[in-house]
Structures are given as C-alpha cells and as structure tokens.
Amino acid sequence: MPSDMADLLVCTTCRCASPVNPLATPDPETRPGAELVLALQAAAPEGLRVIAVECLSNCSRGCTIALRKPGAWTYVYGNLTPETHLPAILEGAQKYRAAEGGLVPWRERPEHFRKNCIARIPPLEAPNV
C-alpha cells in the first residue's frame, strides 16, 4: 500500500444492539454495519480504502470501524451509526491518513472519535513503543 493511503475497516455484521432489542436488525442485508460500509464506499475520498470485514468483535458498542496504515498506530472506534456519523468518520479518517504515524492530536479528532475510541494498537514495525 502506498504511504499516502489508509484503510478504513468497517464491520458489516454490527447490529447496534440495545438493552431493549439485543438482536436489532438481524437481517445481514439491513444491518447498520452493512449500511455504513456502503455509505462510506460511496463517499470515501481518494487515498482512503474502505474495506468490509465480517466482525471486529465489538458487538456491545454498535457499529465499529478501524483505521490502519503501514508504520502507524491502528485505532478502533465504536458506537457509530450510518445516519449520524458519516461526516465525522470521513473527517477523522482524512486526518488519520495525513498524520505522521497515524497520531492525530486528541483535540483535533472529531468529538465522537475522542469519546468512543475502543483500542489503539501499535504498529507492527515498532517493537518498543
């Protein structure tokens, strides 16, 4: 992958479970995660590769995405919805893509990213981070 590219992994099996309906939208074709990947694929700017994945194992926190690129930290974000968070995801992904090592300063991240970061994973190339 070229150094100016980033991957946006989108869980297509996310169902936005809730205490009222833990199995919300069980149909794989209408799951919010599947809707989110389609919306992001249609709106993604050049340099951002949107990749559908079957599960990111974050089922209790709604739709989930991960941002990764070579030599950079990987970030996992949750509690996303296709209707509300598409602009924030695209903004955050662009900032991530442009940032050295994927390290976007905390205050420059979209608000939803600041409050809903699930994990930060060090680059494979950095054994002592």
Q: 70-101 pLDDT, tens per residue?
A: 999 999 999 998 889 999 999 999 999 999 99
| Residue ranges for the chain with pLDDT beneath 50 | 17-23
pLDDT reported for residue 62: 83
Tokens of 77: 């974000």
Tokens of 10: 């989108």
pTM of the predicted model as reported, rounded to 2 decimal places: 0.86
Under 8 Å between Cβ of 79 and 61: yes
How many alpha carbons lie under 13 Å from residue 26 in its C-beta half-sphere?
A: 3
Question: β-pairing, 74-80 with 63-68?
Answer: antiparallel
Under 8 Å between Cβ of 71 and 29: no
What domains are defined for the chain?
6-121 (3.40.30.10)
